[in-house]
């Protein structure tokens, strides 16, 4: 089958219940919130939306519950330039849920109920194999069952589909999976879980990247929040700074970065420029609240970059 520059995203879909409060409740404490919002989220869906709004040609492999909100999410994803033919509604399951607290500093803590996301099994991956084998790149995260991430990575590798893993939320990963990854994009915490190296400096980032290269991964992008990313290709590393903005809520900053980054790469944009494009998209996202409501469209990213000069 012939290939065009096509992206497959495999991952989670959640309904985010977001409560803004002055500080996180301690055990036993009740804190009155300042603002409450229900918004569509989930790392997989956020990354698919970021890619779709940035202009990618993509198919999303995921599950929603056979509920009202699942139907609304599928309709919304389609309006974000996403092929949803591989997003099935699972009978007897509810759509995934994330309960998110955002404190006065814009930091967040998240609790998740997987719901229908647990139905993205290796069998489900096999049923939707066409989406993966005909894609140029496969983008995944870790809110789907690990065995399914592994199955999808194997399928991609066998069919010359590039594998990009955003290893979030943080869990230790087997070498078998890491060896199938072409590009990995951990944040500092995830990099530490994967390598045992605490990332507090550029030297630490370089050492963590070296461990990941040793596992067989060619390109390592460690995201450093407002400081940008550490980009390491085959061991040659550099920090690429992000943009200075007034951040109000970083939910989906990493997701927006990943979706925009792979979109630019699939357009043939050079690595450093793709990172800059992704920084712009993520910088816009942190100036807005919520996950998918914060994700910018292509025109907004291009305008932002033009203003930055």
Residues that constitute the known binding site: 14-16, 42-46, 143, 187, 223-228, 249, 251, 254-255, 279, 285, 288, 290, 294
Residue 252 interacts with ligand RIB (CB under 6 A): yes or no: yes
CB contact set of 27 (below 8 Å; sequence gap of 6+): none
**Residue 291 interacts with, from ligand RIB, ligand ATP, none (CB under 5-8 Å by kind):** ligand RIB
The separation between CA 276 and the C-alpha centre of its own chain, rounded to angstroms, equals 17
Cβ 250 to ligand RIB, closest distance in Å? Answer: 9
Tokens of 90: 């699972």
Kindly tell me which residue out of 9, 11, 16, 284 binds ligand RIB, with binding defined by CB under 6 A. 16
- The dihedrals phi and psi of 66, each to the nearest 5 degrees, come to -85, 60
Structure tokens at 122: 């290796």
Shortest Å, Cβ 244 to ligand RIB: 22
Give CA–CA dist 50/295, Å, rounded: 6
Binding residues for ligand ATP, rule: CB under 6 A, are 168, 187, 223-226, 228-229, 242-243, 245, 247, 250, 252-255, 257, 279, 282-283, 286
7 binds, among ligand ATP, ligand RIB, none (CB under 5 to 8 A by kind): none
Q: Is 85 or 109 the residue whose CB approaches ligand ATP more closely?
A: 109
Q: Which residues are annotated as a binding site for K(+)?
A: 249, 251, 285, 288, 290, 294
- 255 carries an active-site annotation: yes
DSSP string over 124-192 = HHHHTHHHHHT-SEEEE-SSS-HHHHHHHHHHHHHTT-EEEE---S-----HHHHTT-SEE--BHHHHH
User: Which window, 42-50, 85-93, 145-153, 191-199, contacts ligand RIB (CB under 6 A)?
Assistant: 42-50
Dump the DSSP string for 25-36. PPTT-----SEE
- Catalytic sites, residue numbers: 255
């Amino acid at each position: 089958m012939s290939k065009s520059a096509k992206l497959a995203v495999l991952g989670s879909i959640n309904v985010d219940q977001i409560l803004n409060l002055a500080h996180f409740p301690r055990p036993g404490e009740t804190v009155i919130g300042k603002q409450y919002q229900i918004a569509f989220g989930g790392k997989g869906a956020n990354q698919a939306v970021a890619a779709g709004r940035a202009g990618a040609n993509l198919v999303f492999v995921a599950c929603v519950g056979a509920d009202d909100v699942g139907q609304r999410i599928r309709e919304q994803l389609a309006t974000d330039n996403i092929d949803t033919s591989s997003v099935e509604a699972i009978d007897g399951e509810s759509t995934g849920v994330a309960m998110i607290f955002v404190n006065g500093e814009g930091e967040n803590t998240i609790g998740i109920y997987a719901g229908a996301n647990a139905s993205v099994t290796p069998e489900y991956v096999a049923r939707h194999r066409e989406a993966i084998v005909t894609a140029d790149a496969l983008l995944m995260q870790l809110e789907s069952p690990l065995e399914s991430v592994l199955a999808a990575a194997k399928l991609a590798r066998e069919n010359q589909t590039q594998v990009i893993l955003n290893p979030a939320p943080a869990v230790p990963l087997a070498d078998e999976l890491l060896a199938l990854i072409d590009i990995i994009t951990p944040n500092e915490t995830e990099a530490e879980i994967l390598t045992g190296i605490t990332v507090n400096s550029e030297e630490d980032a370089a050492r963590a990247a070296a461990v990941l290269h040793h596992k067989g991964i060619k390109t390592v992008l460690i995201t450093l929040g407002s400081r940008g990313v550490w980009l390491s290709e085959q061991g040659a590393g550099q920090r690429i700074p992000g943009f200075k903005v007034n951040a109000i809520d970083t939910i989906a900053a990493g997701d927006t970065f990943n979706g925009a980054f792979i979109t630019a790469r699939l357009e043939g944009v050079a690595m450093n420029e793709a990172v800059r494009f992704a920084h712009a998209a993520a910088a816009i996202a942190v100036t807005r609240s919520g996950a998918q409501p914060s994700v910018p469209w292509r025109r907004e990213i291009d305008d932002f970059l033009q203003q930055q000069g």
